[in-house]
Each structure stands twice: as structure tokens, then as C-alpha cells.
Structure 1
Amino acid sequence: MNRIITVKGRGNVSAPPDWIKIIMSLEASDIDYYKAMDMAANQLKELRNCLYEHGFKKQDIKTTSFNIDTSYENVKDFHGNYKRIFKGYICSHELYIGFGADNKKFGKILLTLSNCKARPEFSIKYQIRDQKSLKEKMLKEAILDAKEKLKVIAEAAGVEIGNIVRIDYDWSEIRFEREEFHSLRESSYKPSIASIDIEPDNIEASDTVSVVWEIK
């Protein structure tokens, strides 16, 4: 039976974010289906008009989800029994925009969203656009880390290492992003958000690779 040794290597990367993603949520509700849909359409129009002020075009404002659901409430009657009462329709719309990291532009957009008649709820994500090069760097570091660990182990154990038998990697998705904050639709502090001078920290990520070598 061939003798083998498995060593796990870890690669780490850190880089400043160069992309800002703003995820916006709209919600419209009414007892009447068509009125709820009209409200949703008007909210979208208002939000788009707000973003047009900052140079965004219609195709830049992407929709990730659009749902309309019925709403019910459990109400207790005089006999102590609960009945489901129809409350209306709720239309939920989630969209996002993205732009190169620019704190001045970022602050102006936040101020506009905070005062927008559509009353969007929004969250901010800092991201890195060129993720491919970072992933490659991370994997190279993981392999080198495994080799260095193997050298130490082999010297300490007094064994000679042969060829690589296999490399195990799970190919799980790594996201180079970080959510900075989340603004509630009814928040009273939204107008003050734009005045915050945010300097995002580097985005860090790590990954592991298992390398199997033969022992001579």
C-alpha cells in the first residue's frame, strides 16, 4: 500500500473595495389589487427619476425580484375564535445599482434616496470587481502554504516526499463583498446618513486547498 500525506494550505487576500452596490426595496399595499399595482408603478417611476439625477439610465437600475402577495390578519371574534381577515395585496420590488467607489457621489446618492418620495429601504455593499485575479492569487498562496508546511513536516519526520497524488478543492463560491449598513424604510435618521464620511476597510477573504503527496 502506497504511503501518502495530506496537507491543507490556506491562502489569504486583502484588497480595498472598488465598487459600491446599493440594494433598494420598495413596498406598496392596498385592499384593491389594481391600486396596489398602480402604487408600485408610481414608486418605481419616482425612484428612477431620483436616480436619473445622478446619471443613471433605466438599464442601470436592475430588478432582482418582483412579487405580489395577499395579506391576512388573524382577528379574534366575540366567541374567542380566530378568523383570517383579508387585508389586501402587498407588492414588493427589489432593485440595485452599482458604480465605482466614489465617496462624494455615494453621499449624494444616499441623500437623494433618503428624500425620495418612493421611500425605499436600502442597504449598501462594498465589493471588488476583479475577483478573478484575487481568487487566482488566493489559490496560489494556498498551494505555496501547503508546500511550506509539507517541507517542515517531512524534515521533522525524516521522510522523503514524492510526486503529488491529487489536489482536493471544493470550488465553493467566495464573495468579495461586505455589507456596510442597512437603512429602514421608516427610519428617522436617513437624511443624516449622507453626511457620514465612510472609509471602508479592505475586504478580506481566504480559501483552502488540500494537497496529497506520496511518501517514498
Structure 2
Amino acid sequence: MTRSRRSAALIAVAALVLFAAACSGDTTILSGESPTDLGITVTGTGEAAAPPDMATLDLGIEVAASSVADARERAAQAAARLIASVKANGVADRDIQTRAIAVQPQYDYSRSGPPVITGYTVQNDLTVRVRDLDRLGRVIDDALAAAGDAARLNSLQLGFSKQDDLLETARKNAVTDARRRAETFAAAAGVRVGDVLAITETAAGGPVPLGLPAGRSAADTATPVEVGESTVTVTVSVRFAIEQ
């Protein structure tokens, strides 16, 4: 018998042995091309929390008028007052950014026939980062007062100017959580968790924006902002080898 035929025969015998064992009713055979084909894949989530050190405001101007020129002019004046206000409160130029400017017609749909344009709305949205949180309430109040009824405060997000250390802690906690889950599954299956075969970071999330109502007059009580703690969350997918 040639060497190739002997090899084929041995493979066939091995296959029959595996098939018989698998059919015995009380044994499960897990096979693959290599030992790394056996494994447990789990998802782990880790968090890290700390007091935030900055805030991001989504501020806007919205003005309606009968003509584009009038709406644009009034919106430009309100935006200029708002920007001057946040700068007067110590916000640097690099922390003020125009996010969007839009001009939209307003229609009257109440009449028969095609809708009729009755005016125009101009919007000017700004992103403002406040790094001195002790002045955050004042920045908000003064900006809204400066822009008047045209002012909009769409959201506020508390976060971190540098969150690398928090992300590192959250990632470690996520891998620890994944191993704990894998060991639970492995113990239930009667096997042991082996080496890590692969790690994939599936999500890394920062603080969630908070919606805030727009508009307070300067005579009202100052807007209170409680900083508290913000949490960074990381989710990873980890594949562990199985040790029989």
C-alpha cells in the first residue's frame, strides 16, 4: 500500500472513531482545524466615573421675519450679542464654533391651492465649551439674556477635557467583566477558560447630553448646574480559548 493510501486509510479510521464516540449519547466531540477553533466569546462592559471638568453647550439663535434680509439681520445681531456675552465670561475663541446656519421659508397651508410663503426663519447654532464649571450657570444666563427671545439652549453635555485615563480604567474593567462571564459559562459546561484569543472594542461611550429648557431673564434666579459625576462606558467582545 502506498504512503498516500495509508494516510487516507488512517484518516478514515479516525473519522469512524470520532463518529462512534459522538453517537454514544453521553459524549460530545468538539473538533476544529486547530485548538484555537474552540472557544467562548463573551461581551464585557466596564465603567469609570469622575467629576467632569468641562461642559459643552449647544446654543442657538432662531429669528422669524417677513423677509430673508430682515430675519438674517436680526439673527446676526442676536448671535453677535450671544458670542460677545460668552467671551466676556472667559470663554476662549477656540471654544466657540459655528455648528450650522440655516434659512427656511415659512408656509401657509390653510388656503386652497399651493402653499404660500408667509415669512422666513433664520437659525444660527453654536457649540460653546466652558472649561470653568464654576462659571457655567452665569455663562448660560448671560448668553440667553444677551440674545433675548431669539436665544435657544438645545442641550448641555458635561464631560472631560482629557478622558484617556478614564477610558483605560473602563477598558480594564470591561475585560475583567468579560472573563468573569466566560468563567461562569465554562464552569457550567465543565471546562476551563484558557488564554485570550481576541479582543474587540465594540463601543466606547462618553457622557450623555442633557436637554435644558431655553430662556431665563437676567432678573431670575441664576440657573443652577449640579456637576456630579460623569461615567465613561466601554464594551468589548473577548474570545477565550477552552481548556478541556
TM-score, shorter chain, exceeding 0.5 = yes
Structure 2: how far apart are the matches of 1:58 and 1:100?
Answer: 12
Unaligned runs of 5+ in 1: none
Q: Which has the higher helix share?
A: 2
Cα deviation digits, residues 103-152 of structure 1 (max 9, x gap)? 2x223223312321444111322112222322222111111222233344
Mean Cα deviation higher: 14-23 or 192-201:
192-201
Q: CA 1:124–1:190 in 2, change beyond 3 Å: closer, same or farther?
A: farther
Q: Report the counterpart of residue 50 of structure 1 in structure 2.
A: 85
| Alignment check: 8 A CA contact 1:44 1:118 kept | no
Letter paired with 1:96? T
More relative contact order in 1 or in 2 (CA 8 Å, sep 6+)?
Answer: 1
Matched, 1:202 2:229: yes
**TM superposition score normalised by structure 1:** 0.80
Report the alpha carbon displacement of residue 89 of structure 1 after superposing the two structures with TM. 1.8
**Hey, what does 1:25 align to over in structure 2?**
60
What secondary structure is seen at the aligned counterpart in 1 of 2:78?
helix
Quickly say closer, same or farther: Cα 1:205–1:75, change in 2 above 3 A.
same
SS of equivalent residue, structure 1 residue 214: strand
SS in 2 for 1:116: helix
Report the RMSD for the aligned CA atoms in angstroms. 2.6
Q: Which is worse superposed, 87-96 or 159-168?
A: 159-168
The equivalent of 1:99 in structure 2 is 130
Distance 2:147 2:39 in 1: 66
Q: Deviations over 1:186-205 (max 9, x none)?
A: x4x44466524432221124
8 Å Cα contact 1:20-1:127 kept in structure 2: yes
Where does structure 2 lack aligned partners over 5 or more consecutive residues?
1-30, 33-37
Three-state SS of the structure 2 residue aligned to 1:212 is strand
Tell me how far apart the structure 2 counterparts of residues 82 and 146 of structure 1 sit (CA, whole Å).
63
Greater share of residues in strand:
1
Other-structure match for 1:213: 240
The worse-fitting range, judged by mean Cα deviation, of 191-200 and 38-47 is 191-200
Whole-angstrom CA distance in 2 between matches of 1:31 and 1:197? 37
Aligned partner of residue 60 in structure 2, secondary structure: strand
- Structure 2 CA distance for partners of 1:33 and 1:197, relative to 1, 3 Å: closer
Partner of 2:163: 131
Q: Provide the residue aligned with 2:103 in structure 1.
A: 68
Aligned sequence identity (%): 21
Q: Is the 8 A contact 2:79 2:147 kept in 1?
A: no
Question: Which position in structure 2 is the counterpart of 1:182?
Answer: 212
Separation in 1, partners of 2:197, 2:147: 62
Q: Is the radius of gyration larger for structure 1 or structure 2? A: 2
> What secondary structure, in the 3-state scheme, does the structure 1 residue paired with 2:164 have?
helix
- Structure 2 residue 141 is the aligned partner of structure 1 residue 114: no
- Residue 20 of structure 2 is matched in structure 1 by none
- 1:71 is matched by which residue type in structure 2? Q
Q: Which amino acid aligns with 1:129?
A: S
Letter in 1 for 2:161: R
Q: CA deviation at 1:167?
A: 2.4
Aligned counterpart for 1:164 among listed residues 177, 186, 196: 196
Structure 1 pair 135–193 and aligned structure 2 pair: CA distance change class (3 A): farther
Distance 1:193 1:133, change over 3 A: farther
Aligned length: 206
